[in-house]
């Protein structure tokens, strides 16, 4: 469960790098009813997504040469420099050095884990992060698909102190690792890590994080995805103990999951 009372190591923000911001805004507006508005006059195209007046994420233009469209997950930290130092000691790398947002909004940096997955950190100032989570149309879970689950777990445990819990997948499909912030317990579990052979990973075999967005009706949301130029790579299907879900991509290829939790689907 992702909440807005952010603690160190918990997901607190996400944004989409897109080749065309307006097209991305139109797609997600049609699928999730998000309203898009520029962050500010000097934001370089960075645009906030709101649902019922509350911020649920953002989109900005791709800035790195050769970058593919994807969602980036940001994790809360009380000290960006200390987290970066820990990440580098553990084999990670810095993609974007720490930078201030506004005068007092906060500080962010973008990093890469040792297996190559992109993620980011947010040291809040005046602005803590997402204003709506764990509701239809908002972030409710995150997942890492990686070529080395054990190594990824060790890395994120080192820099964030996450606790983990392995659960077997049905039909002998491997192991799924649940993750929670340090001391958070089961009620604060916010995502999972899944080991995937490198040749089955998208984007040339590079591990990646993707967001899971809630929906009151997975099938209806998936219909909106496909009718607005997106695609479905898995589902919709019902996962016992989880709910009804589908793995989707937007028209530019950014992956996300749509989930109607089991309790909501009943």
Q: What is the CATH number of domain 11-124?
A: 3.10.180.10
Answer yes or no: are the C-beta atoms of 29 and 21 closer than 8 Å: no
CATH superfamily of 139-265: 2,3-Dihydroxybiphenyl 1,2-Dioxygenase, domain 1 (3.10.180.10)
Count CB-CB contacts under 10 A for residue 78. 10
Q: What is the pLDDT of residues 154-209, one digit of tens each?
A: 999 999 999 999 998 876 678 899 999 988 777 789 999 999 888 778 777 889 99
Does residue 60 carry a pLDDT above 90?
yes
- The pairing of beta strand 93-101 with beta strand 70-76: unpaired
Q: Average of pLDDT values for 115-137?
A: 96
- Per domain, the residue ranges of the chain are 11-124, 139-265
Decide: pTM greater than 0.85: yes
Q: Which residues contact 82 (CB under 8 A, 6 or more apart)?
A: none
Comparing 41 with 220, the larger pLDDT belongs to 220
Q: Which residues contact 31 (CB under 8 A, 6 or more apart)?
A: 221, 224, 225, 228, 230
Q: Where residue 19 falls among pLDDT bands split at 50, 70, 90?
A: very high
């Amino acid at each position: 469960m992702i909440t807005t009372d952010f603690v160190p190591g918990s997901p607190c923000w996400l944004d989409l790098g897109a080749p065309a911001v307006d097209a991305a805004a139109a797609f997600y507006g049609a699928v999730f009813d998000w309203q898009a508005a520029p962050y500010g006059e000097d934001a370089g195209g960075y645009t906030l997504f709101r649902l019922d007046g509350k911020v649920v994420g953002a989109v900005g233009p791709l800035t790195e040469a050769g970058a593919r469209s994807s969602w980036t997950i940001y994790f809360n930290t009380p000290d960006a420099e200390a987290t970066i130092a820990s990440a580098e000691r553990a084999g990670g790398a810095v993609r974007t050095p720490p930078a201030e947002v506004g005068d007092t909004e906060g500080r962010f940096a973008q990093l890469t884990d040792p297996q190559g997955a992109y993620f980011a950190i947010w040291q809040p100032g005046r602005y803590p992060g997402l204003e709506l989570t764990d509701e239809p149309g908002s972030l409710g879970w995150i997942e890492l698909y990686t070529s080395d689950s054990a190594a990824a777990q060790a890395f994120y445990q080192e820099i964030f102190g996450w606790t983990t819990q392995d659960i077997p997948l049905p039909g002998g499909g491997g192991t799924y690792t649940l993750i929670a912030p340090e001391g958070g317990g089961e009620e604060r579990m916010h995502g999972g890590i899944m080991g995937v052979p490198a040749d089955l990973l998208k984007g040339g075999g590079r591990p990646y994080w993707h967001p899971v967005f809630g929906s009151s009706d997975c099938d209806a949301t998936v219909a909106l995805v496909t009718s607005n130029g997106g695609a479905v790579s898995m589902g919709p299907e019902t996962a016992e103990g989880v709910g009804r879900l589908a793995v989707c991509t937007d028209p530019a290829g950014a992956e996300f999951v749509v989930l109607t939790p089991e309790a909501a689907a009943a």
